[in-house]
Structure 1
Amino acid sequence: MIRSKVYLLATAILLLASVNGCTNAYNRLNTTDRANLNIISEILEQGKWRYEDEDCSTAFLSLTFDKPNMTLLADSKLSDSDTVNHYVYDIHSITENSLFMGIRDEKRSDDLGHPVKWHLILVDRQTFYWRRGDWNPNSGTKNLVLCQ
């Protein structure tokens, strides 16, 4: 009797949490997307990244995932600045080798007036590039490579 009451109470709490949006977004992913995100995050969290023509001591990008909230946290330093900028990307979709995301509080807009969205596309375990959502699918930024 007590066991069934505890079970009912636990079920009610879980149901209430999911109705109120308290379950984490990562747990709602399908198995394939979760596996892809785990692989991508493992690759991107290896260390600092740099554009191929930059030096890691003066310009870098550091990436960290907050999987429960489906966000990518980015710290970026450009070579012409001493400031490290912090960005939060909301992950909208995942493929085997890419993430489709939007920067929180993005000020730039596409031709339709919508906030710019970004694809992060892995080339291999030590290389990726960015492509804006409104760019030609065959275009992108210069490659970023893992700092050595």
Structure 2
Amino acid sequence: MSPIRIRWTFLAALAVLALGAVPARAQSSMEWIEGEWRWGNNETGCDSAQIMRVAYGGKYIISSYPDQGSRDSSEYRVLTVVPGVIRARITGETRKDAEGRAVLWDFVQLSEDSFCWRRSDWDPDGCTQPLYRCIVIGPGRDGVAVNGGDGEPWSRRRPVGR
């Protein structure tokens, strides 16, 4: 990685820290990104959740919408990880920034249950609408719903935080 790119990553992470966008318990690993997520403005809630998973020994993040088939699946090559921010490049990305470089994406952790996307060429405080974690309610040891215990079918997903 070039010194300029390393410097930009450090400055972006520093800006996020200075703006208070990193939650108090921000994780320096990528574990926080794994799970099902919904857009804050998504009226269907978690029924069309986006699934994020860390793959290939932490070198990639795979993003998919299983309810929409394989057409909406992306692979992100992880470039850097600092507390509360994962910087990655979409495999096959064709968009370029003003200087002609491939656009990079930051997964910015807003809380334990929310994050937003930020392009590398946006202002350090620029971010998309937040995405919120969906909790998967599943059967417990005795077949009883866990993680909420509200009696809903185990396959039902519900949003956290909003």
The normalised TM-score by structure 1 is: 0.65
Q: What is aligned with 1:24? A: none
Q: What is aligned with 1:125? A: 112
Give the structure with higher Rg (CA).
1
CA distance in 1, matches of 2:110, 2:58: 25
CA distance in 2, matches of 1:60, 1:135: 26
Residues 45-104 of structure 1 show CA distances to partners (whole Å, capped at 9, x for unaligned) of: 2x31011111221x32101111526111110379xxx44511110111110111011000
Q: State the superposition RMSD in angstroms.
A: 2.0
Q: When the two structures are aligned, how many residues end up with a matched partner? A: 106
Q: What is aligned with 2:122? A: 135
Larger RCO (CA under 8 A, 6+ residues apart): 2
CA distance in 2, matches of 1:110, 1:61: 26
Amino acid in the other structure paired with 1:123:
L
Q: What is aligned with 2:103? A: 116
Q: What is aligned with 1:64? A: 53
Q: How far is 1:44 from its partner?
A: 2.1
| 2:23 matches 1:36 | no
Change (3 A) 1:143 1:115: same
> 3-state SS of the aligned residue for 2:46?
coil
Q: What is aligned with 1:28? A: none
CA distance in 2, matches of 1:109, 1:76: 25
| 2:84 matches 1:97 | yes
Identity %: 22
Structure with greater proportional helix content: 1
| 2:38 matches 1:50 | yes
The normalised TM-score by structure 2 is: 0.59
Structure 2 gaps of 5+ residues are: 1-26, 135-157
**Aligned counterpart in structure 2 of residue 145 of structure 1, from 120, 123, 132:** 132
